Amino acid sequence: LTTVAKSLLAEVDALYNCEAEALTNPYRTYARLRKEAPVLIYRDVAAVSHYVDAHAMLSNTTDYSNSRSLGSHVTALAASLSPEARAMLLECVRFHDRWLVRLDPPDHTRIRGLAHRVFTPRRISGMTETIQIITDQLLDEAQAKGPTVDLIDEVIYKVPLMVVGNMLGVPAADYERIHQWSKTVAVFISDFGNPVEMFATLKDFRSYLAVMIEERRREPHTDLLAALLAPDETGDRLSAEELQAIFILLLFAGHDTTTNLVGSGLAALLSRPDQLVLLRDEPELIGNAVEELLRFEAPNQTIHRYALRDTRVHDVLIPAGMSIKLMVGSANHDPARFPNPDEFDVRRSDTRHLSFGFGPHFCLGQALARLEARILISTFLERFPQASLAGELKWKPNLMFRGLEALPVALS
């Protein structure tokens, strides 16, 4: 720590505190981190910023755990809270550690198998028409409200929410409630800063799900929740808590991150007319453009691990017990991996970003997220070729889940 420039630590503080200016362009600070402190141990967390290191650590389940309840970050935070808030924090983190994304083998292997079995490519591609219909309908409504709209509020967040809600069998009347709960979840997961609010939200979310699950047990259904309830061929099935955990994860991960991707993605495109022209002239570039958007503005800027034993990364000792932030946003902009990383290029040929993670926890919903992003972005650009940005862009105060607060757009 003594060798790290104070000015860099001030920048990292600004990022960790989610200061608006720092979040406008975190990539400058990431560049300094890669150069001056590829593994920075600061505020009870090791931040790893090189692509090659993050990539290797993502598939190393021997040295690193996905659990977050045990890491130094939670321990330090818990010590700073009142006994009541501490109890709430620990209960929320305990439940969060039951989520698929937080499990280690062998539990992870078992639950991933049970979830994977229902999340089939056929089920995903079968959603294409539904996604297109929802997108067209919401764009019609936005157009009627126009000429200037907040595209995130009117269209973007609703598409993945309706799609994943529809797949899981959630009644449409409850989507808004789930969206509000998910906002609290996003703040909590990023740095555990709101344990009291999260405790209340989890209580509501879990009792809501308990009723839904009970309904599925009583009557036959064909949705994803019913499929998750059924035992696999060996007779293994998810427990009630495991079901609630995966259901909340799917609802949250299934809409918040995709919303952020499409919002940041359209903003990146609308502020680069040359790239828009390329995409308009060659609509078949959309698949590549979505990959470049994922690389350029990763919706998950950080992925979290915890050191099970002492390890050395980039010659820095990460002691057993330390919480780790793999800086995906930085890895995706690492010049050692991507030439001209800060340039946005829909034709870039190598876009193998880490935005969906890598290894055993590789995002289970990536095919769905990609499909939704392709349909939303290409339909919007086709229908509104004259659209332009109509206001300042403000990023949500969240370092982990990077996304815009709003996307003001003039449609014509």
The footprint of ligand HEM (CB under 6 A) covers 66, 100-101, 112, 164, 249-250, 253-254, 257-258, 261, 299-300, 303, 355-357, 361, 363-365, 368-369
- CA 322 from chain centre, in angstroms, equals 22
Nearer to ligand HEM, 32 or 50 (CB): 50
The secondary structure of 182-249, three-state, reads HHHHHHHHHHCCCHHHHHHHHHHHHHHHHHHHHHHHHCCCCCHHHHHHCCCCCCCCCCHHHHHHHHHH
Rounded least distance, CB 94 to ligand HEM, Å: 17
Nearer to ligand HEM, 32 or 179 (CB): 179
Nearer to ligand HEM, 41 or 400 (CB): 400
Rounded least distance, CB 290 to ligand HEM, Å: 9
Rounded least distance, CB 250 to ligand HEM, Å: 5
The Cα–Cα gap between 195 and 281 comes to 49
Contact of 279 with 394, CB cutoff 8 Å: no
The three-class DSSP label of residue 317 is: strand
Rounded least distance, CB 212 to ligand HEM, Å: 17
Nearer to ligand HEM, 137 or 366 (CB): 366
Rounded least distance, CB 138 to ligand HEM, Å: 18
CB nearest ligand HEM: which residue? Answer: 365
Q: How many CA atoms lie within 13 A of 103 on its CB side?
A: 18
DSSP state of 176: H
Rounded least distance, CB 124 to ligand HEM, Å: 9
Per-position DSSP letters for 346-395, written without gaps between them: TT-S----STT--GGG--TTHHHHHHHHHHHHHHHHHH-TT-EE-S---B
Nearer to ligand HEM, 345 or 372 (CB): 372
First to last CA, the chain: 52
Rounded least distance, CB 366 to ligand HEM, Å: 6
Nearer to ligand HEM, 86 or 374 (CB): 374
Nearer to ligand HEM, 195 or 365 (CB): 365
Length of the chain: 412
CA dihedral 376, 381, 386, 390 (to 10 degrees): 40
The Cα–Cα gap between 405 and 412 comes to 22
Nearer to ligand HEM, 341 or 365 (CB): 365
- Given the DSSP bridges, would you call strands 311-313 and 302-307 parallel, antiparallel or unpaired? unpaired
The Cα–Cα gap between 122 and 134 comes to 19
Rounded least distance, CB 355 to ligand HEM, Å: 5
Rounded least distance, CB 299 to ligand HEM, Å: 4
The Cα–Cα gap between 30 and 341 comes to 12
Contact of 304 with 68, CB cutoff 8 Å: yes
Nearer to ligand HEM, 244 or 300 (CB): 300
Nearer to ligand HEM, 11 or 119 (CB): 119
The Cα–Cα gap between 63 and 12 comes to 26
Rounded least distance, CB 315 to ligand HEM, Å: 24
Nearer to ligand HEM, 303 or 327 (CB): 303
The Cα–Cα gap between 61 and 359 comes to 9
Rounded least distance, CB 158 to ligand HEM, Å: 14
Q: Which helix (H) or strand (E) holds 311?
A: strand 311-313
Query: What residues contact 200, with CB distance under 8 A and at least 6 apart?
Result: none
